[in-house]
Amino acid sequence: MSNKIYDVKLQDGVAVVTVDAPPVNTITAAVRSGLEAALDEVEKLSGVKAIVLACKGSTFFSGADIGEFSGPPKEAEYRHLFARLENQNVPVVAALFGTSLGGGYEITLACHYRIANSRTRIGFPEVNLGIIPGAGGTQRLPRLIGAEKALDMIISTKMVDAKTALEYGAIDKIADGDVNAAAVEYAKELVAAGKGPRRTSEMKVAPETATPEIFAAAEATAKKLYPNRIAAQTAVKSIRTATEKPLNEGLLVEEKLGNESKLTPESKGAIHVFFAERATRKVTDIPADTKPRVIAKAGIVGAGTMGGGIAICFANAGIPVTVLDTSDEALKRGLSVLEGTYDSMVKRGRLSPEDKAKRMGLIKGTTNYADLSEADVIIEAVFENMELKQKIFAELDKVAKPGCVLATNTSTLDVEKIGEATKRPQDVIGLHFFSPANVMPLLEIVRTPHSSAETIRTSVELAKPLKKTPVLVKICYGFVGNRMMEPYGREAERMVMEGATPREVDTPMEKWGMAMGL
């Protein structure tokens, strides 16, 4: 593809525009400029009967460039590019694969048809960033799939898979294998069938999906899901505009509301958190070429609340895990509670019975330390007692294979002292999960002066499949989370002792944005 960010090829009357912008085809200014240039080339070609918009790499367009949000508004650039796509006089087919969020999916709404492979996921995460979809999502999506489903997708921020997207009408076809090749064949089929452009700008929002009751319910959901935040309510307002105005006017309303939302403290804080969480995976004081060890099997010492929750994290990630406890009775009790967690997920429709069986099949129990000998990481999760933890680590030192990461889930104790019970302090580290471990996203990674670069890198990378946000800290009492919470709790207790009621303490903090008060 030379040095250009795009390539244009004519295949049997189908102009294939392919973008290659590693790592995830973010729609940056360079990508937008490249697409404009690609359309210039396409419009000069003769014999074009259809156009396919495709990407190379691991995913179709992943989304907009969040780094641009703090700069001058870019909506006009998106509008111009998307209008050019939509106003082509031949069918334009988008070939989706991977994960397309926000602007990455919005560009397909300006195309006329959408085909995706079976593993594709789409969604709108903008509300989590304190903003609304700003490249036509609140205007084109309700025209395509109805206001009710559009409201749900945008307010909930949940991604939908290809099967669900097809049911919604958000895509037109699911392809097996190479979706780019399938898109070319689909384009040919459309031409052969006499199908021309199908523009969302010419569609109307189905009235039965946009009743006052539906919008009232959406507003109530927005307030319930995001108390003290306004982005979701702003999204509802913008989607309502799609039912009242033509697309060109609706896009201007969306732009106005979107730019206003970017200036709110809510948005500035959420975007700061977004970049801060991404930065947590960068460890600047170990060699950049440090490779993580492969984590294919895990071990947990302790089948209690924390141990069971951590085991669920590994099973959810598809990593076999062995849970050790001191007796068959304790083990049976712990595994029963663990299975109950999965049963609750099945009951609530968050997990299929088949998936539950698959995940439970990855978890086994034992009372024998030798059964942890094949684990690549072992996490101790017993109660806070230094002597007990050192005893456990001494046992692990005898059975764990070379290079196994030996981790403690301690919340306050000195990880270095725990590691003194072993002959491999370079492999010892703290992995502090927060309760409930299978739900809370924070993972404190507590390095000791002896933790090797490999051990640190492995621990940070392990957070990704476990769906945790890693925060690397050094040894100090309470590390980061509990060290911050203790002053809050201390001051709350003082206020109650001085005469305030617990509700009088909690309510102002809840209004400020702390979901559970203090």
Catalytic residues: 106, 126
Q: Which residues contact 234 (CB under 8 A, 6 or more apart)?
A: 132, 257, 260, 261
Cα–Cα distance measured from residue 130 to residue 272, given in angstroms and rounded to the nearest whole number: 11
Report the side by side order of strands in the sheet with 92-96: 6-11, 14-19, 50-55, 92-96, 113-117, 173-175
Owner of token pair 């037109």: 172
**Closest Cα partner for 138 from 226, 238, 39?**
238
Residue 298 DSSP label: E
Cα–Cα distance measured from residue 188 to residue 47, given in angstroms and rounded to the nearest whole number: 13
Beta strands in 118-236 (DSSP E): 121-123, 160-161, 173-175
Residue 505 identity (one-letter amino acid): V
Q: Are 379 and 408 in contact (CB under 8 A)?
A: yes
What number of CA atoms fall less than 13 Å from residue 78's CA on the CB side?
A: 28
Tokens encoding 513: 């944005």
Q: Are 335 and 323 in contact (CB under 8 A)?
A: yes
3-state secondary structure of 347: helix
Residue 401 DSSP label: P
Residue 477 identity (one-letter amino acid): Y
Tokens encoding 435: 């309760």
Residue 62 identity (one-letter amino acid): S
Cα–Cα distance measured from residue 30 to residue 26, given in angstroms and rounded to the nearest whole number: 10
Ranges of H-type helices in 179-294: 179-192, 212-225, 231-242, 247-262, 265-279
Q: Which residues contact 13 (CB under 8 A, 6 or more apart)?
A: 47, 48, 49, 50, 188, 191
